[in-house]
Amino acid sequence: MNAPKYVYFFEEGDGSMKELLGGKGAGLAEMTRAGLPVPEGFIITTQACLRFYDAQRRFPEGLDEQLAQAMRDLEGRIGKRFGDPSDPLLVSVRSGARVSMPGMMDTILNLGLNDATVAGLATLTNNERFAWDAYRRFITMFSSVVLDVDKEHFEELIEERKRELGVKNDPELDADSWKALVERFKSVVREQAKREFPQDVGEQLHLAIQAVFDSWNSKRAIDYRRFNKISDDWGTAVSVVQMVFGNMGDDSGTGVAFTRDPNTGENVLFGEYLVNAQGEDVVAGIRTPQKIADLERSQPAIYKQFQEIAHRLERHYREMQDLEFTVERGKLFMLQTRTGKRSAEAAVKIAIDLVNEGLIDKKTAVGRVSAQSLDQLFHAKIDTNEHFDVAAHGLNASPGAAAGQIVFTADDAVAWKEAGKPTILVRVETTPDDVHGMIAARGVLTAKGGATSHAAVVARGMGKPCVAGCDALQIDRRNKTLSLNGSTLHEGDWLTIDGTTGNVVVGQLQLIDAPTALPAWLSTFLSWADEVRRMQVWANADTPEDARKARELGAQGIGLCRTEHMFMQQDRLPIVQQMILANTPDARAQALTKLLPFQREDFVGILEAMAGYPVTIRLLDPPLHEFLPSLEELLVETTELRLTKGVESPEYLAKETMLKRVQQLHEQNPMLGLRVCRLGILYPEIYAMQVRAIFEAACELKKRGVDARPEVMIPGVGPAEEMRATHDAAKAVADEVLAHHETTLAYHIGTMIELPRACVVADDLARTAQFFSFGTNDLTQTTYGYSRDDAEATFIPVYLDKKILKDDPFQVLDRRGVGSLMREAVKLGREARPDIKIGICGEHGGEPSSVAFCDSLGLDYVSCSPYRVPIARLAAAQATLGALK
């Protein structure tokens, strides 16, 4: 049986083959086909990576033979031999998944160097310093990636040598210095890896490819995929590319550039360039680079050629490109083109500009922008009323402001977050191993690196504020201190960073939330989404302020107004408690009469704010004990009062009365106890007061000419009899109020579907209910049998880590389980009542993939928190277009 084809030379592929060749490989293939200056090379497919894992981390059958033949062909094309001491072929070995995962997987440069070939390279190039510089780089990268030797062992030796010679930068070290350091590097390998540094170039290549395959399942790559919802089943391709050298002198260099500004979307070439350097120097932030525009002054012909290629590639792909390039002795080589990572603001503005430039249409533009990324547009900013001194300034690498306590390691950022402490992760430069800490931290500050460094690219993708390349920052990792222009700060001290301006401030500044209104450019873009989406987008709002904000952000109704939040306000809580402590229906009714004006005022405000749109008001949902002090608290207080005031004191008697009521209401499992519609059935006067308040508010508004559209939602029904009993009681009160005010008003009474039983008897419920709204938070709890608060704090993180769960079901809707129940409810409900309105009001309504699933079920609307309304608008449009599934 013949092995599959695992190896493709660049000219054998094209840009459409990302799934097989990875994004980097497909880009190299497409540039080769277009005749651009690309080094020779070939790609090992993602299929080989997956088969590698299937074979328990061994190369699949046939790969060794195809690899050997490809290296022979590569030697023939270039005219050099792999391992030849006199004229050696050197290659880079690079990862490349089908989507960009910047820095998450491994790359090795200068592969093929050993004690013999380094001498040949020096002679061939007549540049001994360059050859030994390349060799020390190779030893460092290979040892770190393949042999698991910490890079800091090598960096410390370099810093020691620079101090001895009184120089600051790596390019100031001469050939003899690098020679001596190479010997010391090999000793480090011997000590740390317990083996000699491999001299056989075939072994180097085999181990390097294996390490790149292994990096697909590294912790940092898994963390990144989980955060960005990338499948674990794709694997990575491996590109083996002829080395070109940017570290051969002042006419050489390396750079990374974007065809448009990835922060703002401005149509200008944006990037960085380092003279006499290799690619990892830019990406890793080892040296702070120059702006790409500086290349125009130093090498104008190269800059012009690069500018033309950048423009050509953007026009070809009809998308902003992320480019890597090297200049070797005045000759330009393109090493990568891929769709560029960008901030949410840039993504929207670039999409709009590409439409205006005639490169794409509106529907394509709508499909291009990640719906989830719009959350970045609502980041905190430093309060304009704050007066502060800027302690230092770095590059504005990822927008938004963050305040937190200083930590110096990724692990500490995670631990502090688990302890409830906000942090700023402070590093010399971040590496892919820091990703879990970047996820945990509020923001990232680095001493080195530029706008295309690892920290910048990853933080932008996460929507985290980042300030990079802060030259004034000096870090003492051992003592966990930092210095900013002479000020010493310790772990746990507060910093505020502004990734929009690059400012670093000592202390905790007050931050303000996102803009109060949608910017014009975002309104334009979302209007394009509104033109194509089928589902409506509503919002969850409990106050007039929330309702107004939701309407500003494009909500077409309120899908959930929680009345219990209104009860919790300090001026009402004593009355609520009086109502709960009442022993008779009459006493309860007296307390409810006092609450009625408050509730009516609340509903007036929300209905008026949403005039012309439906407002779905859920009747009281939680158990009554939630409005009373805790049992433990009352036991302590009554004991103290008995000892200090005596059992006859009014204070003690009042607390004792409350304690007894709390004990009466105490339940073993409150989640499944006396709550939701069961409250309204046992205490009908509570629901009656709320319904009366709703319709008195609506009548008042109608008299003022306001188009109020109330919808009454009964929570947590199971049997159809619960639906009928609560529906009939609510309708009787509503009709009585309307009759009293001698007016008519269109309204609906429906239910929140949050129990599995409700889903499977939805046809029975729909014969009474006029709408369904899936309460997916509780439906997930009752389907899984998980307590959300307990599960997310204990075993769900472990389940995610062990891949027992693919996603947290409280964050991403469980299609197979919860989704199947929803599908059944929709089918049964519409069979019984074809015109029934069905939506969702759990927070899943603002999560893009969950929105897409709701669209597939044919729901009429999704409802989410106000600031997630723009996300849901875009996600609903992408679901209609088939761009989100």
Residue owning tokens 């269109």: 746
Residue owning tokens 């997310």: 792
* 238 strand-pairing partners: 44, 95
Q: Which run of H or E residues covers position 874?
A: helix 869-881
* Closest C-alpha to 283, from 456, 464, 155, 105: 456
Tokens (6 digits) for 199: 């001299």
Q: Which run of H or E residues covers position 753?
A: strand 748-753
Cα–Cα separations (whole angstroms), residue 756 to 644, 727, 776, 851: 51, 20, 11, 20
Residue owning tokens 């430039």: 357
Cα–Cα distance between 859 and 162 in angstroms, integer? 66
How much of the chain is helix, strand and coil, in % rounded to 5? Answer: 50, 15, 35
Cα–Cα distance between 240 and 77 in angstroms, integer? 14
- Catalytic annotation, pick one of 454, 625, 727, 844: 454
- Catalytic annotation, pick one of 841, 844, 854, 864: 841
Count of Cβ atoms closer than 10 Å to residue 54 Cβ: 10
Gyration radius from the chain CA atoms: 32
- Quick one: three-class SS letters along 477-519? CCCCEEEECCEEEECCCEEEEECCCCEEEECCCCEECCCCCCC
187 Cβ contact partners less than 8 Å away, ≥ 6 residues apart: none
Tokens (6 digits) for 253: 């260099």
Cα–Cα distance between 345 and 519 in angstroms, integer? 10
* Closest C-alpha to 217, from 111, 110, 101: 101
Check if 153 is active-site: no
Tokens (6 digits) for 26: 């497909």
Check if 841 is active-site: yes
**773, 560 contact by CB (below 8 A):** yes
Q: Which run of H or E residues covers position 304?
A: helix 300-317
Cα–Cα distance between 762 and 250 in angstroms, integer? 74
* Closest C-alpha to 209, from 301, 83, 354, 96: 96
Cα–Cα distance between 9 and 68 in angstroms, integer? 13
**622, 564 contact by CB (below 8 A):** yes
Q: Which run of H or E residues covers position 255?
A: strand 253-258
Cα–Cα distance between 436 and 423 in angstroms, integer? 13
Query: Which residues are designated catalytic?
Result: 454, 841
